[in-house]
């Protein structure tokens, strides 16, 4: 009996040891997993797309901080953050007036730090359909504080006869190209003002006297003509964004229809040896350079920033939440690389939920 009892007791102890050992293994594996997903301070090392809801994402980096500009119900808001993947403090910097040309349809704002002030370029106009009244306006901050008061600098003239203000022409998605210490406006517009919005959109460029005044004549740089930017119910070139790599200058733009899964990115590039950026012959085109997959649809309207450590290039873009026509979209981001010829290699848009390593230095 004594021996039998001893054996029973030993079996119980061995069982407890096995359970305890199994528990310790689980703890070790869990700790190891945390070690891979967090740094020594507990910061998450990975993130997944989408990062937030929205469309037409515009992000810029100034003095190691990220500024994200967007609209909510005809209000322009700005987020200031030390991280790319997380919004920081958010404030409304401007609200559309109750009347006037810019009282509704406030679209795709961009914020640029120029000459000690923040300038916001945005599209607005009487609502539709048809959406035939859209023009581009400019706001200027009181000082270098992004959350300071903003002055409405008025509407920019984007037509062909500036001496006749009423002849202004439809224009959206304006951005600013800084080249050889001069400023140039780049935007999406119509060739002529029409009473229907079923018309093609083109990419224009024009010299700027200052951040809120255009001078000279607008120049047509790109029309939807290639087979990869045509073929749908309405051919568009819109959402131009500037990308630079040493002496290379690119204008990455969106094409096809923004409400369809075929929305994608094309690219203009300044030919080597050409410095006259107002000459259409100085530019060439290639594409598509970034487009959807079976898992990601309607990739477009990108912007570009460097990681906090300044070692990585990232593309910020929106995609459709589904394949049905419409503008229900979210915002995503992922790193990209450069080819030996100095051109960007954006790769393919990564599926939602796939882990990405956070930007270097975040």
Q: What is the DSSP letter of 275?
A: -
Q: Is residue 346 part of a domain?
A: yes
Q: How many domains does the chain have?
A: 1
Cβ atoms of residues 45 and 34 within 8 Å: no
Question: Could you tell me the end-to-end alpha-carbon distance of the chain, in angstroms, rounded to an integer?
Answer: 67
One pLDDT digit (tens) per residue for the chain, 362 residues? 333 443 444 444 445 544 444 444 343 333 333 345 776 666 789 999 999 999 999 999 999 999 999 999 999 999 999 999 999 999 999 999 999 999 999 999 999 999 999 999 999 999 999 999 999 999 999 999 999 999 999 999 999 999 999 999 999 999 999 999 999 999 999 999 999 999 999 999 999 999 999 999 999 999 999 999 999 999 999 999 999 999 999 999 999 999 999 999 999 999 999 999 999 999 999 999 999 999 999 999 999 999 999 999 999 999 999 999 999 999 999 999 999 999 999 999 999 999 999 999 99
Please report the pLDDT score of residue 35 as a whole number. Answer: 41
Please report the pLDDT score of residue 42 as a whole number. Answer: 64
Cβ atoms of residues 155 and 168 within 8 Å: yes
Q: Is residue 259 part of a domain?
A: yes
Question: Can you tell me the distance from the alpha carbon of 217 to that of 84, in angstroms, rounded to the nearest whole number?
Answer: 37
Longest dimension (CA), the chain: 113
| pTM score, whole prediction | 0.89
| Torsion angle of C-alpha atoms 119, 120, 125, 131, degrees rounded to 10 | 130
Please report the pLDDT score of residue 16 as a whole number. Answer: 53
Q: Is the peptide bond before 50 cis (omega within 30 degrees of 0)?
A: yes
Question: Can you tell me the distance from the alpha carbon of 107 to that of 75, in angstroms, rounded to the nearest whole number?
Answer: 10
Q: Is residue 64 part of a domain?
A: yes
Q: Is residue 9 part of a domain?
A: no
Q: How far is CA 61 from CA 79, 215, 341, in A?
A: 12, 28, 26
Q: Is residue 1 part of a domain?
A: no
Please report the pLDDT score of residue 41 as a whole number. Answer: 62
The DSSP bridge partners found for residue 120 are 111, 139
Please report the pLDDT score of residue 24 as a whole number. Answer: 41
Q: Which residues of 4-31 are buried (b: 16+ CB within 10 A; e: fewer)?
A: eeeeeeeeeeeeeeeeeeeeeeeeeeee
Q: Is residue 26 part of a domain?
A: no
Please report the pLDDT score of residue 44 as a whole number. Answer: 84
The H-or-E segment that residue 272 falls in is none
The domain that contains 314 carries what CATH number? Answer: 2.115.10.20
Q: Is residue 116 part of a domain?
A: yes
What DSSP string describes 60-110?
EEETTEEEEEEEETTEEEEEEES-SSS--EEEEEEE--SSSTTSS--EEEE
- How many other CB atoms are there within 10 angstroms of residue 218's CB atom? 22
Could you list the residue range(s) of the whole structural domain that residue 100 is in?
Answer: 38-357
- Given phi > 0 = left and psi -120 to 50 = alpha, else beta, which region is 162? alpha
Q: Is residue 245 part of a domain?
A: yes
Question: Can you tell me the distance from the alpha carbon of 141 to that of 151, in angstroms, rounded to the nearest whole number?
Answer: 6
């Amino acid at each position: 009996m004594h021996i039998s009892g001893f054996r029973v007791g030993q079996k119980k102890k061995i069982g407890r040891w096995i359970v305890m050992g199994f528990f310790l293994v689980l703890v070790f594996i869990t700790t190891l997993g945390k070690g891979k997903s967090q740094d020594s301070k507990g910061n998450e090392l990975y993130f997944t797309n989408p990062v937030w809801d929205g469309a037409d994402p515009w992000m810029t980096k100034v003095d190691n901080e990220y500024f994200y500009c967007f609209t909510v119900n005809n209000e322009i808001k700005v987020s200031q953050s030390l991280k790319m993947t997380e919004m920081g403090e958010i404030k409304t910097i401007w609200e559309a007036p109750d009347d006037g040309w810019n009282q509704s349809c406030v679209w795709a704002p961009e914020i640029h730090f120029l000459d000690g002030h923040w300038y916001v370029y945005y599209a607005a106009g009487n609502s539709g359909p048809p959406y035939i009244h859209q023009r581009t306006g400019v706001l200027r901050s009181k000082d270098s504080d992004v959350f300071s008061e903003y002055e409405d600098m008025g509407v920019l003239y984007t037509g062909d006869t500036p001496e006749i203000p009423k002849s202004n022409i439809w224009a959206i998605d304006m951005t600013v190209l800084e080249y050889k210490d001069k400023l140039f406006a780049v935007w999406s517009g119509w060739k002529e003002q029409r009473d229907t919005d079923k018309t093609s959109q083109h990419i224009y460029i024009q010299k700027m006297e200052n951040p809120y005044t255009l001078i000279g004549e607008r120049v047509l740089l790109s029309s939807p003509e290639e087979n990869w930017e045509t073929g749908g119910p309405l051919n568009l070139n819109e959402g131009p964004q500037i990308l630079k790599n040493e002496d290379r200058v690119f204008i990455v733009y969106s094409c096809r229809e923004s409400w369809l899964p075929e929305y994608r990115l094309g690219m203009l590039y300044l030919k080597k040896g050409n410095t006259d950026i107002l000459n259409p012959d100085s530019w060439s085109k290639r594409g598509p350079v970034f487009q959807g997959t079976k898992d990601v649809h309607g990739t477009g309207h990108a912007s570009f920033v460097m990681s906090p450590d300044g070692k990585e290039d990232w593309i910020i873009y929106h995609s459709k939440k589904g394949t049905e026509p419409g503008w229900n979209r979210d915002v995503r981001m992922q790193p990209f690389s450069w080819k030996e010829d100095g051109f960007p290699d954006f790769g393919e848009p990564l599926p939602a939920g796939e882990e990405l390593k956070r930007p270097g230095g975040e």
